[in-house]
Structure 1
Amino acid sequence: MTTIGIIGAGHIGSQIARKAVQLGYEVVISNSRGPETLADLVAELGRHARAATAAEAAAAGDFAVVTVPFKSLADIPVEPLAGKIVIDTNNYYWERDGHVPALDNGEATSSGLLQEHLPTSKVAKGFNHIMSTQITTDGTPADTPNRRALATASDYPEAGELVARLYDEFGFDTVTIGPLSESWRVERDRPAYVVRQNAVELTENLAKAPRTI
């Protein structure tokens, strides 16, 4: 059975965990406040989930989901994620995270900076442009007309392929943006951000996204 290590148990992390256990995954989930604070969530998730520290969740996962505020990037454990695919759900909000000139100026991407922090991992953007509650409610079977689509980006084809498989299991089509350097196209305030769109519409919205806001 595949285990997903989830680092961050907020709105997105908890929803991914809920859907994952429904699909038969094992989940090891962490937050910044300690495993004991996740007792209620783990009880809800059932026997296929347990709480742990971030390092333990990273080590336990066959792959990982990092879903923490950008300002906490430096707290993501590096060594336990070595060689693993890491799905990054983060969006940069300067109001919360503080200004990062390289992001403000369009010289870097938040997922690209996570990849720099995790040089031995394979980072892919995912689940960052959908409302958290819709992760468990908007999915539909493959070939459903007008099926909702989500985007991914990665410097590693195998990482993007894993995200696409997970999207499909969750009930979404996939549009691949390209490398992490292009992942800004699906970030906050762009046309593709948190709107329901099928694959054709998402592709169009990605193409018309402005580099800086």
Structure 2
Amino acid sequence: MADRPVIGIFGAGKVGTALARLLVDGGYEVALTGSPRQTALDLLVSVVAPGARVATPAELVERSDVIIVAVPFGKAATVPWEAFDGKVVVDATNYWPPVDGHIAEIDADERSTSEIHAALNPRARVVKSLNHLGYHDMEDDAMPAGSPLRRALAVVGDDEGAREVVARLIDDLGFDPVDGGGLANGRALEPGHPAFGREHSASELAALLDAERVLAA
């Protein structure tokens, strides 16, 4: 993988386009793909994420080193997980019943939602991250490395190398990455858990993740 991996984003909504802007500003090549029903996608991206390009799902998968899934949770199954063999895949989705409604099979599943997604293709290198801050905070809270008030974001996944790739990405986006260990720990980043939607320093977030693991044990 190159020093600046090519980034593909599934989802051209507020989260996807905010990430695209930050990544382009950070010197990354970025491609987005959106819903088939999303009209004038080229025009939209040129206005809200200048410098990024629009690609078909197949083109995006083929050319990207890192794929970010930033679609509504209920649409996650429409993403071509079967094509993600060997790819670093960032699951930035959130299952949030006030928005998604209750999904019985998800409610009954003891796994974290990213473990459920990872099971769709065990050959994908799935990492949970970028889901536990709002799209508006992505740009408002980004700070240079070393800033004393820099916000931290967690990175969890079963593939250590994939976690390292995503950690570098998060640092370039303007946040302090915190390694949260295996993918099962992604539950701590989901809605209803203390890390979700809260501002934490790296030490605070690491302590919170450790506490969540103790409670889950």
TM score, norm. by length of structure 1: 0.89
Which digits, 9 at most, give the CA deviation of each residue in 1:23-81, with x for residues without a partner? Answer: 111111011135753223321333x4211233332222121101112222221113432
Partner of 2:67: 64
Q: Paired residue for 1:99, among 80, 90, 102?
A: 102
Q: Secondary structure at the match of 2:180?
A: strand
- RMSD of aligned alpha carbons: 2.1
1:84 is aligned to 2:90: no
Q: Secondary structure at the match of 1:174?
A: strand
Partner of 1:21: 24
Partner of 1:33: 36
Q: Paired residue for 1:173, among 160, 172, 176?
A: 176
The amino acid that maps onto 1:62 is: D
Q: For residues 31 and 85 of structure 2, what CA distance do their matches in structure 1 show?
A: 17
Q: For residues 36 and 53 of structure 1, what CA distance do their matches in structure 2 show?
A: 14
Q: Secondary structure at the match of 1:29?
A: strand
How far did residue 131 of structure 1 move?
Answer: 1.2
Question: Are the equivalent residues in 2 in contact too, given 1:66–1:88 (CA < 8 A)?
Answer: yes
* Distance of aligned partners of 1:2 and 1:121 in 2 relative to their CA distance in 1, 3 Å threshold: same
Gaps of 5+ in 2: none
Q: Paired residue for 1:142, among 140, 145, 151?
A: 145
Question: Are the equivalent residues in 2 in contact too, given 1:71–1:98 (CA < 8 A)?
Answer: no
Which digits, 9 at most, give the CA deviation of each residue in 1:150-201, with x for residues without a partner? Answer: 0010010011101110111011111111111111011112111111110122
Q: For residues 38 and 60 of structure 2, what CA distance do their matches in structure 1 show?
A: 10
Q: For residues 103 and 182 of structure 1, what CA distance do their matches in structure 2 show?
A: 17
Q: Secondary structure at the match of 1:193?
A: coil
Partner of 1:158: 161
The amino acid that maps onto 1:136 is: E
Aligned-residue sequence identity (percent) comes to 38
Q: Secondary structure at the match of 1:175?
A: strand
Question: Are the equivalent residues in 1 in contact too, given 2:85–2:123 (CA < 8 A)?
Answer: yes
